[in-house]
Amino acid sequence: MPRPARQNRDPLGWCLLMALAFEAVVLWRIGVPTRYYFDEIHYVPAALKLLELIPANREHPLFGKEVIAALIHLLGDRPLAWRLGPALFGGFGLFAFARLTWHLTQRRRATLLATALLATNFMWFVQSRISMLDMISAGLCMTGLWQFAAALRAGSTGTARWHLVASGLALGLSLGAKWSGAPALMMPGLAFLVLRLRETGPLRIGRRNAGTIRGVTLTEATFWLGLFPLAIYWATYLPAMFYPHHAVSPWGVIEQHELMIRLQDSVRKPHPYRTHWYQWMADWRGIWFLFENVDGAQRGIVMLGNPVSMIAGLFALVWGLWVAMFRRRTDALAFLVLYAATLGMWIVNGKPVQFYYHYLLPGAFLMGLLALGIDALLERRDRWRWLGTGVFALSLVMFAVFYPIISGWPLPFKSAYNFWMWLPSWR
């Protein structure tokens, strides 16, 4: 991992401020629409049934629905309670991403750029305002990765160990919310193994006082980053073990997951918003979460990527591969691996129907690469410097321009949505 430059200072305060500002924008008018929209029709009723220990939506793990159910229990069955969980995990996940970027890069400007780019890439914002499982899982995934990166930077064995514990806890809960982040959740354990092998060689790999995190053996790391998250994941099924009917057996791990996979693979009916991974990369086809007259006005919420930052991110992918290979930029390599792992799962996945929101995590790691690319341009003293400034500024402007159609703002008339439909495939 790169050494911190002298002029760099940890932008912790700015990271927190940006996350709080994002959270405030997410929570503003989050109760609109006042009824279910898009996949809330699946997850909110499932959470309500969970409060009564009635099985529902059994194709997905439980923790995300447990969060939604807990907030409904505390705040009542109303829109704020349905959506508050994803909103809080969206804001905290943004902060975790900022801290992950700092620990990976030790670059103040790149960290702030990455945080702003993720906050305005449309996807992170839209998913933070809807009662689905994806943001709960993604926010916890970012937290687990942040804590592992912090463990690598820790100055003492004790501090590093607590970061590993926190990482394992977050990774297990993330998997317990949804399986989408599974490839990213494997990365800390694999990274520990690779770093230990690189620094000690295969013969000394088991020594305690060797490697990146001295004092933590390979066996202990395997527990905190492997067995412990799996135990946490299985503990999230505890309520299902008390169902009066069709209860989950504590020992029926294989049977339970076979059932979940069968249920997910059973959805084969063609869907108008079904897309493929290469369409996600090109920002070619989004999803209309809402478009109708509701709460006294015509409203629309489109799940789409920021057309500037998401397309510019593809150029950053090529740049990141080049600097990782020829300039040994391990920070770029880390984001590349995370992007490839989380996107690759959907490329090889046999799930018949896939949607653009499955690009949530790859799109987030793409923003990390784009931030590194813009930071590299800003370090130049030629005309290319202004390209970095222009891409970043235009990304922020684009968020402001599209805000009405990604937030459910009242439209003046039904066909006003055409202002934002720049491609026929976005309709």
Q: pLDDT-based confidence at 209, cuts 50/70/90?
A: low
**Whether the predicted pLDDT of 243 surpasses 70:** yes
Query: Is 355 part of a structural domain of the chain?
Result: yes
CA distance 283 to 303: 10
CA distance 356 to 121: 13
Say what percent of the chain tops pLDDT 90: 78
Q: pLDDT-based confidence at 87, cuts 50/70/90?
A: very high
CA distance 204 to 208: 9
Whole-number average pLDDT of the chain: 92
**pLDDT for res 104:** 96
CA distance 46 to 137: 17
Query: Is 394 part of a structural domain of the chain?
Result: yes
In degrees, to the nearest 5, what angle opens at C-alpha 368 toward C-alphas 365 and 371? 155
**Higher-scoring residue by pLDDT: 165, 198:** 165
- How does pLDDT run across 219-235, given as a tens digit for each residue? 899 999 999 999 999 99
The whole-number average pLDDT for the span 35-59 is 95
CA distance 387 to 402: 22
- How does pLDDT run across 292-340, given as a tens digit for each residue? 999 999 999 999 999 999 999 999 999 999 999 999 999 999 999 999 9
**pLDDT for res 351:** 74
Helical ranges in 28-133 per DSSP H: 40-51, 63-75, 79-105, 108-119, 123-127
Range of the domain at 333: 12-132+236-426
Supply the pTM of this predicted model.
0.95
Query: Is 30 part of a structural domain of the chain?
Result: yes
Query: Is 169 part of a structural domain of the chain?
Result: no
Number of domains in the chain: 1
Query: Is 106 part of a structural domain of the chain?
Result: yes
Q: pLDDT-based confidence at 252, cuts 50/70/90?
A: confident
**pLDDT for res 405:** 97
Query: Is 280 part of a structural domain of the chain?
Result: yes
The whole-number average pLDDT for the span 44-56 is 95
The whole-number average pLDDT for the span 356-366 is 97
Say what percent of the chain tops pLDDT 70: 95
Backbone φ and ψ of 248, nearest 5°? -85, 130
Query: Is 198 part of a structural domain of the chain?
Result: no
Query: Is 163 part of a structural domain of the chain?
Result: no
